[in-house]
């Protein structure tokens, strides 16, 4: 029986703490938690249910503007988008709609309408989503296929700075974060 990819000799142990192990791919430098250390879907949703994101929160809107502002500058009037991984309080889609850019929302827990994944979009956003994906390459390929030619994929995630900073990084404390770019 073949070993799972994360245990292949080419992937090296990058860090371990009292809860999880973290491996790194030497080709793309992705740091990841092995699947057998991921939360169950039920546990993952319980973590997300604690989030207090809301379109009425000015601080959250300011945070999301870091993606909205540069992406809006690239869009044609009336461009249509998808907020992928919108979470329990979709806000970015509301902000884009207020500016004249209608958006669909998709989230596997809170807006699981899979038919929106069969459409094509002028732009797709994924804010604070990539770190939750157990198969980021597969999902990014899927999102890319959903874009019209010349469409935009806007992503936000925090990045690994260096090995020394990783050990004390707050981002690895979230048990739903399983990949780090």
Residue 33 has pLDDT above 70, yes or no: yes
Kindly state the helix (H) or strand (E) to which residue 140 belongs, with its residue range: helix 136-145
Average pLDDT along the chain: 93
CA atoms of 86 and 104, how far apart (whole Å) = 10
pLDDT of residue 6: 52
Q: Which residues pair with 121 in a beta bridge?
A: 147
Residue 3 has pLDDT above 70, yes or no: no
Q: Specify the CATH number for the domain of residue 129.
A: 3.40.50
pLDDT of residue 130: 96
- State the average pLDDT over residues 34-46: 96
The number of distinct structural domains making up the chain is 1
Q: How confident is the model at residue 2 (pLDDT cuts 50, 70, 90)?
A: very low
% residues pLDDT > 70 (the chain) = 95
- State the average pLDDT over residues 77-102: 96
Enclosing domain of residue 27: 5-180
Cα–Cα distances in angstroms (integers) from residue 42 to residues 20, 31, 38, 52, 163, in the given order = 19, 24, 11, 18, 31
């Amino acid at each position: 029986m073949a070993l799972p990819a994360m245990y292949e000799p080419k992937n090296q142990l990058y860090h371990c703490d009292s809860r999880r192990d973290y491996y790194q791919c030497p080709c793309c430098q992705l740091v990841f938690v092995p699947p057998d250390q991921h939360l169950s879907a039920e546990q993952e949703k319980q973590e997300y249910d604690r989030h207090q994101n809301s379109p009425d929160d000015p601080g959250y809107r300011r945070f999301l503007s870091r993606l909205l502002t540069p992406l809006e500058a690239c869009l044609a009037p009336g461009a249509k988008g998808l907020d992928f991984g919108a979470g329990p309080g979709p806000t970015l889609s509301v902000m884009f709609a207020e500016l004249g850019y209608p958006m669909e929302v998709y989230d596997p827990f809170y807006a699981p309408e899979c038919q929106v994944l069969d459409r094509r979009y002028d732009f797709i956003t994924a804010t604070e989503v990539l770190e939750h994906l157990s198969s980021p390459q597969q999902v990014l390929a899927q999102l890319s296929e959903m874009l019209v030619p010349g469409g935009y994929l806007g992503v936000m995630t925090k990045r690994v700075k260096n090995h020394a900073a990783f050990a004390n990084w707050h981002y690895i404390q979230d048990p739903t974060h399983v990949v780090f770019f």
